[in-house]
Amino acid sequence: MPQTNEVETQRVALAEAWIAQDPDPETRAELAALVEAVRSGDATAASELADRFDRRLAFGTAGLRGAIAAGPNRMNRVLVSQAAAGLAAFLVERAAPGTTPSVVIGYDGRKNSAVFARDSAEIMAGAGVRAVLLPRLLPTPVLAFAVRHLGTSAGVMVTASHNPPNDNGYKVYLGGTDEGSQIVAPADAEIAASIERVAAASTVHELPRGDFETADESIVDEYIRRTALVASRPRVQPRVVYTAMHGVGWETTARVLAEAGFEPPALVEQQISPDPAFPTVAFPNPEEPGAMDLSFARAREIGADLVVANDPDADRLAIAIPDPASPEGYRRLTGNEVGLLLGWQAARRASSSGGDAGPAGTLACSIVSSPGLEAVARAYDLEFSATLTGFKWISRAPGLVFGFEEALGYLVNPETVRDKDGISAAVAFLSLAAELQAAGKTVADHLDEFVMRFGCHDSAQVSLRVTDLSRIGAIMARLRATPPAAVGGIRVERIEDLADGFGALPPSDVLRIVLEGGARVMVRPSGTEPKLKVYIDAVGDTGSLSERRAAASAAVAALEAGMRELTA
């Protein structure tokens, strides 16, 4: 029988200790089979075991996210139990003397989400935290709302959002002065250290469990009431197709739309109910090629004016509009296009409600999102804030009235939810579409009006998926060591390295390449997937509508070709 080496022997011992404390029979069995394969000399199994046990799934500002399987570098009941106990210890330690910290926990329809949520509630209750579990599977925005509504110390949402089907995750919010936003440094590192202390000191069986509370439906009712207020009562009803992408968005969205006065949309029935297998899509993300094909087919059947799609936990929104030039007959708007139109809508509302003192408030977007939002803010005398990527940063912009990022995330009602919310954003966009239709205009007409008023802000993205994460670091290091003098034939004016912070921005692994003519390229590793992401923006702001579009499009195409060459 083949012999394992000393390192493999140590890994096998760690795996057997893991099996002994794992309460999940499925992950126990698959890890036991992997260990047996390693013992038999299977090199692939040995590599897999090394990947699972040589590192720990990092707890960062996005919380935890990874594939469901056994081991510390995967999502499973052992890891989640350790995370819950570590977060509980963090909350107890920072609580004011004589007070009991609290947490509200939500979960979506992914595999093991309900189990992970219940484990978390029991373990956090056992650690001295008042734990409240939402009544059933619900969208992420409802959990984000509940943190503020209940005034809890923290919130946990068990979701992997739009990740592949076998992934799950653990998103953490903080209450109090953090106002229900996602965690940022240094809290992420402090929670991570607390989790590691728990993992080193106790097995899952040794963690005390306690009784938790289950929230009643009034939390959901109040979220629905407040979210419906985002819309103006429609005078006309656009024909709408809706898909939940096999997620949890539909039930809550349906109630919000009814409360706001909208007729029920036509549904993509194959995708409307929660299904952790996501059978009709390879990746349950509206941005991925093919993900909205069923939506387009349904839209063609009824001649829809608009297609509305949420991702599986309904914190993101995709919009598609009729487009005769598209083979599908519909075109999904980019996240930047939707964000700019919603930002324009928010700016008009802020301006009309400003009173004698004039408009007040801030429009915010991430640094990788369209700079067109700054042009809108200037036109309406509003403040503008460009933040690091993620709503953990956007939601903290002072005086925020609207925020977005290009990855289909929009925050339209910051007094209710301090995170991206695909349901409130859908209602806001439907309200805009209804207003346009009442005026005899389409969303496409409105996009043209935006170009003529604020310029054509075109954008593109290059996404390099890797299997070896070291490739990402190597590319970033190469760009820093030998910065390009030109990209796609366009002269580089300067390169801003955000590694040590830049202006008011905290340190981040981002390069900002500023080019001649107002174009810009941002390069950064993805925070949630094994990808290097390149964001390209250019503007055409002189001449006719077609001239503006042509100028911006040509610059973007040249920059995209240049960046593909640089990152090859």
- Active-site amino acid positions: 161
| Whole-Å CA distances, 222 to 145, 173, 182 | 9, 20, 21
CA distance 305 to 560: 31
CA distance 469 to 68: 20
| 28 φ, ψ (degrees, to nearest 5) | -60, -45
Return the axis-axis angle of helices 249-260 and 218-228, rounded to nearest 10°.
Answer: 50
Residue with tokens 């009309």: 352
CB-CB contact of 117 with 145 (8 Å): no
Centroid of chain to Cα 274: 19
DSSP string, 519-557: -EEEEEE-SSSSEEEEEEEEEE-SSSHHHHHHHHHHHHH
Tokens found for residue 126: 């056992």
Q: Which residues contact residue 436 at a Cβ distance below 8 angstroms, ignoring those fewer than 6 apart?
A: 442, 443, 445, 446
CB-CB contact of 125 with 174 (8 Å): no
CA distance 469 to 317: 29
Q: To 5 degrees, how large is the angle CA 107–CA 56–CA 161?
A: 30
